[in-house]
Amino acid sequence: KNYFYINNTATPRQIGNFFESLMEKSYLNEQSKEILLNKMSTTLFDDRIHQGLTRDIKFSHKIGNWPETSSWHDCGIASRKNRLFVVCVMSRNTTYEDFLSVTKDVGEFLIILF
């Protein structure tokens, strides 16, 4: 179920579906997709999944921070050459340090997939 409009929550699958639709559907033309992905890949929040990636992998993402609920998120599209992967890490009731450790591991796993 989609509870986003009721209580501002979403699942990793729902956010992943959003990114998949963004890339696969014709909501945006190819030039607009490229502009959006470039904007989303240069952020101040590159201490999460980015930390496990090599420089040749582009990660266009959106993060979330809710310290009050100990919730941290990093979801987006990892791309290298012509390959794309949608990745989404979301947490609840965890420390920021543990979240950073997990997201680094996810980034390192993405290297293997490429």
**Given this model, what pLDDT does residue 5 score?**
60
Alpha-carbon Rg for the chain, nearest whole angstrom, is: 14
Distance CA(55)–CA(67), nearest Å, equals 29
Residue (of 40, 64, 48) closest to 110 by Cα position: 48
Residue 97, both tokens: 């340090």
Residue 113 CB coordination number (10 Å): 11
* Residue 25, pLDDT score: 85
Q: pLDDT by residue for the chain (114 residues), tens digit each? A: 565 666 667 889 999 999 999 888 888 999 999 999 999 998 888 899 999 999 999 999 999 998 898 999 999 999 999 899 999 999 999 999 999 999 999 999 999 999
DSSP letter at 70 equals T
Contact 16, 75 (CB under 8 A): yes
Predicted model pTM: 0.87
Q: In the structure encoding, which two tokens stand for residue 11, read together? A: 């699942």
Q: Which of 77, 93, 96 is nearest to 85 (CA)?
A: 77
**Three-state DSSP state, 3:** coil
The two structure tokens encoding residue 90: 């979301």
Dihedral-angle region of residue 80 (phi above 0 means left; psi in -120 to 50 means alpha; beta otherwise): beta
What is the pLDDT at residue 27? Answer: 85
